[in-house]
Structure 1
């Protein structure tokens, strides 16, 4: 995998890029040179970030010049979402609500990468008057449960833009028992679907995440780096296949959310 250049000049963005390098390598210990290659940051910038991060608990220094993530890294991830990439404001909420209305009452969810591991976490939603009983989940459960990236249109959308190493790790995970009948169980087919997601810029799910519900998802990318996905759900009997209008509306909503932090998407 080619190194991605950390083009952001904000210090928080550079710290987040270093943190992301550890996440992309499965949390394994890394040396400054490896981090520099993964982020595009200079050796001196990486060294300064690591030294200050050790002091604050974001990183931990171990033997032979290697570092790993510290306990404070999780808090940093949440602050990065809230401060540098603010999707909790009115504008983001309005984007989700407009998607719900454009799709005649579809259920809309905003998923972000989990701060640790390889999963996704629901960050916000626009579900109208629905109490989510038809999904078999309460709003609290939806917001707090981290789901596998190998399951569902939003999971595959996020996974499609992650490193090959992360993809292999996720494919080694078992298929979640609660997955729907349309879930990809064959890893070769799942990998092929990830390429298709990257080629077309969205994913379609047919009863993939749960029985009786079809979906469409599109990626949220900031400076070319995947951060999350917008998911549109409708009952399978209402939407046996996603019409082009639903696909276009979902992709457009993801593009608007991406543009809140600098552009959609980097070529």
Structure 2
């Protein structure tokens, strides 16, 4: 069927909805209903109806004070699922293998949505005694360094809202579950470019994580390296963080 033929079966509201999404994506956080209506020459009631449906579905988020829109977690989830199926895993695996070999730890690649973290690829430690989990494993939302890599890339107002709504859990006696302390930790993560977990998620296990962020600033996922606390020490984790950040740069450079 040619494009012209297919137009006879088109649904105008679908095209309008997609146009609204594209407009929001181009100007994240700066457009409200009236702005979109004016720029696209759409009826304001149409824009309102579409954006309300998108808010309900998690496709958009709206700032409570400014009423401006941003893309929501549902789109991020779909994007992550698409990337997870082929390209990101394929590109990242060779870098993960080197990290696992160099630091004798298990290396995970994961993506995020509003419910938690999904492991989409892993390379086990070469050591006989190792920490592992199968691909497809779902981790709790605030689990260790990987969660920090995700949250640190969000605006602080969004961080605070998520933390308040979901409530910080207490996985171990070293878990940070005070909101202000956790927010301060996220600020440090954003500044230094990597996140650490010193037995905060699992007793006797340390981890370091780096985000994978494309050239548009979109978070694609994270890579984290996990090892036993008696061997994967603070100094070793620092070295691993530097290597992982370099790997992340190369991975996202390839992805573009």
Q: Shorter-chain TM-score: which interval? A: 0.5 to 0.7
The corresponding residue for 1:193 is 185
CA contact (8 A) 1:151 1:183 kept: no
Match of 2:28 among 5, 22, 38: 38
Unaligned residue ranges in structure 1 (runs of 5+): 1-14, 20-31, 49-60, 263-267
The corresponding residue for 2:92 is 92
- Alpha-carbon separation, structure 2, partners of 1:139 and 1:131: 17
Q: CA deviation at 1:78?
A: 5.2
> Aligned pairs, how many?
211
The structure with the larger Rg is 2
TM-score (norm 1): 0.65
CA contact (8 A) 2:146 2:195 kept: yes
Partner-residue secondary structure (3-state), 1:93: helix
Pairing 1:216–2:203 present: no
CA contact (8 A) 1:181 1:210 kept: no
Pairing 1:106–2:105 present: yes
The corresponding residue for 1:155 is 147
More helix per residue: 2
Pairing 1:139–2:134 present: yes
Pairing 1:125–2:122 present: yes
User: Taking structure 1 as reference, are residues 78 and 239 closer, same or farther at Cα in structure 2, changes over 3 Å only?
Assistant: closer
User: Taking structure 1 as reference, are residues 110 and 82 closer, same or farther at Cα in structure 2, changes over 3 Å only?
Assistant: closer
CA contact (8 A) 1:118 1:166 kept: no
Unaligned residue ranges in structure 2 (runs of 5+): 1-17, 42-46, 60-73
User: Taking structure 1 as reference, are residues 188 and 213 closer, same or farther at Cα in structure 2, changes over 3 Å only?
Assistant: same
Partner-residue secondary structure (3-state), 1:153: helix
CA contact (8 A) 1:204 1:217 kept: yes
Matches within 5 A, 1:249-264: 249-262=243-256
Give per-residue Cα distances to partners, 1:3-45, cap 9 Å, x unaligned: xxxxxxxxxxxx7x949xxxxxxxxxxxx7x66642679948x
- Alpha-carbon separation, structure 2, partners of 1:64 and 1:232: 42
What root-mean-square deviation, in Å, do the aligned CA atoms of Structure 1 and Structure 2 show? Answer: 3.7
- Alpha-carbon separation, structure 1, partners of 2:120 and 2:248: 14
Partner-residue secondary structure (3-state), 2:177: coil
CA contact (8 A) 2:100 2:126 kept: no
TM-score (norm 2): 0.68
CA contact (8 A) 1:111 1:124 kept: yes
